[in-house]
Amino acid sequence: MLKLYIGNKNYSSWSMRPWVLLTQAQIPFEEVFVRFDGFTPESDFKQKLQSITPAGKVPVLQDGELAVWDTLAIAEYVAEQFPEKKLWPQHPHQRALARSLCAEMHAGFMGLRANCPMNIEASLAQQGELIWRDKPAVRTDVARIVAMWTQLLEAHDEPMLFGAFSVIDAYYAPVCMRLKTYALPIPAAITAYIARVSALPGVKAWIDAALKENDFLDFEEPYRFKP
């Protein structure tokens, strides 16, 4: 059986992507939780991963002796191993577009990622107001995301970005969490898409588990003090 190494569900946006993809697609896997306790070479987190992946990061998908440690590589591997799940759009042009948009998330949106770290449990609307006011990079990133999602939703007549659930919806699920946590201003159609994504069984299962973790990590919480 596949093994997926992940970090804390409340914080680990990269772990969320393949976990949601596998869960929503009903592909069996064993979850291996590696708690975030710090990211120095001496941390338990790094020590536990050093024999699994040279990158020393999560997520990692293990299939027998093979380890795949990048989210895009994981998505491609899973799509190849389970072609019947149709995890990418079937039309070559649509598939290429979906891959391009996932790569855009993979390499970009640094303003949003740096200033609005994923924190599913928290409600940070007040911080979101200040971030929106003071961080033009966040406004630029959100504008691009809104334009992207709007175009896709209109072209495919909902409910997901390419009609049916696919890799791109799993890939942007953490972005949905960020927009919700920080209550960043977005149009009603985008709010509705976030609600649909949050209601997907695979996403809801991740959210529910994140809410139960109750594991406050101060280095992941730049806006809050420990209760």
Q: Cβ-count burial of 154 within 10 angstroms (0-12 exposed, 13-18 middle, 19+ buried)?
A: exposed
Reading the block at residue 41, the tokens are 């070479």
Mean pLDDT for all residues in the chain? 95
Percent of the chain scored above 90 by pLDDT?
85
Residues 49-67: tens digit of each pLDDT = 988 998 999 999 999 999 9
pLDDT average, residue stretch 71-95: 97
Asked whether residue 225 carries a pLDDT value surpassing 60, the answer given is: no
Tokens 């799993």 sit on residue: 170
pTM higher than 0.85, yes or no? yes
Q: What integer pLDDT is reported at residue 158 of this predicted model?
A: 74
CATH placement of domain 2-85: 3.40.30.10
HSE of 45, CA atoms in CB hemisphere, 13 A:
16
CATH placement of domain 92-211: 1.20.1050.10
Q: What integer pLDDT is reported at residue 167 of this predicted model?
A: 98
Max intra-chain CA distance, the chain: 50
How do the domains of the chain map onto residue ranges? Answer: 2-85, 92-211
Q: What integer pLDDT is reported at residue 217 of this predicted model?
A: 83
